[in-house]
Amino acid sequence: MQSQSEVLQKSEELQTGSCCGTSVELSSVSLENAETIRAEVQTHYGRVAEEHLNGNGSQNCCGSDFYEIEDLSQLPDTAVNSSRGCGNPNAIASLGPGETVLDLGSGGGLDALLAARQVGESGYVYGVDLNDSMLELARRNADKTGATNVEFRKGDLENLPLPANTVDVVISNCVVNLTTDKGKVLNEAFRVLKPGGRVAISDIVVDGDLSGMPVSEKQIRAGLSWAGCIAGALTISQFTALLQAAGFHEISITIEQRYTAADFNGELPPALTDLRPDLLKDLLQRFTGSSIQARKP
Ligand SMILES: C[S@@+](CC[C@H](N)C(=O)[O-])C[C@H]1O[C@@H](n2cnc3c(N)ncnc32)[C@H](O)[C@@H]1O
C-alpha cells in the first residue's frame, strides 16, 4: 500500500497549481488516490475504535480538552476518551430544544450525545460515520447513556444517508479535513439542511497559505499526516469558497487555537524539523483549530 505521503504527492502531481504552481488543490483528489486516502483514514480510526471497544483505548492528548468537565462527567469514559476532535462544535451551535442535528463523522459519539442532551426529548440527533467499529462504539455509548433521541447511521459524508431539507443544524468535529471531496461534503450538508438551517463545524484550517518557506507547500503537506487531520486541511479562503459554492450565507471562520511543534507529538518530517526554528514556528502556527459557521438561506 502507498504511504499517505506518497498518495498526497501523487495526488498533487495530478492536481497541483492553480495560478502560480504553488497552490495545492485540496477540495478533491483523484478517484484512485481518494480510495487510498479513505482506506488509510478508515484503518486509522477503525483501530482507535477497536481499542476502545476492547477496553484498552487511550485518551487523545486534546480531544476532550475543549469541553466543560461537568458535561463530560455525564458521559461514558469510552465516549470521552475516544474523542478525536479539535474543538467543540456544540459550543458554537447554540442548539435548542426540539432541533434536529446531524453530526458529520460522529466517531465514538461524544458530540452527538452532548447534542442529544441539548435538544432534549423533542429533538433528534443523527451521527453519520463510515467506520463500522466507530458506529458500534457510538451505539454502545448511546446505550450506556440511555439516550433514545440519537441514532448512528453508516454513511459517507459525500453521500449522506438523509433526505433533503430535514436537519436544523449540521455539526462536525475535525472530519472535513479528512475527506477527499470537501466540496461534495459541504454540498451534502447544504442539501440535508432545512432552509434557515446552520452549520457549526470545528476543524483544522490553514490561516493564510503555506508559501514563503524554503520548502514548497507540496513538501510540507506530503510530510504531514492526512489521517492525523493535518495534510488535508483547507485554507480559510478555500473553505470559505467551498461554503459559498455550496450556497451558504453568513459564513464566518474564527481561529480558536494555533498549533505549535508540541502539538505534533514529535511526528514532524525532517523537511520541517530542518527548518530554522523561527520559520518552523511561523509555519506551524498557520495550522489552526477553527470554528466554522454558515447558514442555508
Ligand atoms: C478525527 S475523527 C473525529 C470523530 C469525532 N467527530 C470526534 O470528535 O471524536 C474522524 C471520524 O470521521 C470518520 N470519517 C472520516 N472520513 C469520513 C467519510 N468520508 N465519511 C464518513 N465518516 C468519515 C472516521 O471514521 C472517524 O470516526
CATH code for position 172 = 3.40.50.150
Instruction: pLDDT band for 63, please (50, 70, 90 cuts).
Output: low
Question: Roughly what angle, to the nearest 10 degrees, separates helices 132-145 and 31-53?
Answer: 40
More confident residue, 106 or 20: 106
Number of domains in the chain: 1
Of 89, 99, 118, the closest CA to residue 169 belongs to 99
More confident residue, 200 or 222: 200
- Best residue for ligand 1 mutational test, from 36, 129, 174, 176 (most atoms within 8 Å of Cβ): 129
Name the least confident of 20-34, 95-109, 196-210.
20-34
Give distance in angstroms: CA of 130 to centre of ligand 1.
Answer: 7
Instruction: pLDDT band for 62, please (50, 70, 90 cuts).
Output: low
Report how far residue 271's alpha carbon sits from residue 134's, in angstroms, rounded to the nearest whole number.
34
Sign, CA torsion 58/230/13/11: positive
Instruction: pLDDT band for 221, please (50, 70, 90 cuts).
Output: confident
Ligand 1 within 6 A of CB of 110: yes
Q: Where would I find the H helices in the chain?
A: 4-15, 31-53, 69-72, 77-81, 89-93, 110-119, 132-145, 182-192, 217-223, 236-246, 270-273, 277-284
Ligand 1 within 6 A of CB of 11: no
- Are residues 54 and 62 in contact, defined by beta-carbon separation less than 8 angstroms? no
Residues 228-236, mean pLDDT to the nearest whole number = 89
Report how far residue 291's alpha carbon sits from residue 238's, in angstroms, rounded to the nearest whole number.
15
Percent of the chain with pLDDT over 70: 89
Ligand 1 within 6 A of CB of 157: yes
Of 62, 60, 63, 80, the closest CA to residue 71 belongs to 80
Instruction: pLDDT band for 5, please (50, 70, 90 cuts).
Output: very low
Give distance in angstroms: CA of 97 to centre of ligand 1.
Answer: 26
- 3-state percent helix, strand, coil for the chain, nearest multiple of 5: 40, 20, 40
pLDDT at 17 (0 to 100): 26
Residues 87-98, mean pLDDT to the nearest whole number = 97
- Are residues 75 and 110 in contact, defined by beta-carbon separation less than 8 angstroms? yes
- What are the grid coordinates assigned to 172, written together? 462536525
Ligand 1 within 6 A of CB of 182: no
Ligand 1 within 6 A of CB of 105: yes
Q: How far is CA 228 from the centre of its chain?
A: 10
- Best residue for ligand 1 mutational test, from 175, 226, 229 (most atoms within 8 Å of Cβ): 175
Range of the domain at 174: 4-295
Ligand 1 within 6 A of CB of 229: yes
Residue type, 91: A
Quick: pLDDT tens for 99-132.
999 999 999 999 999 999 999 999 999 999 999 9
Ligand 1 within 6 A of CB of 136: no
Average pLDDT of the chain is 88
The model's pTM is 0.91
Give distance in angstroms: CA of 176 to centre of ligand 1.
Answer: 8
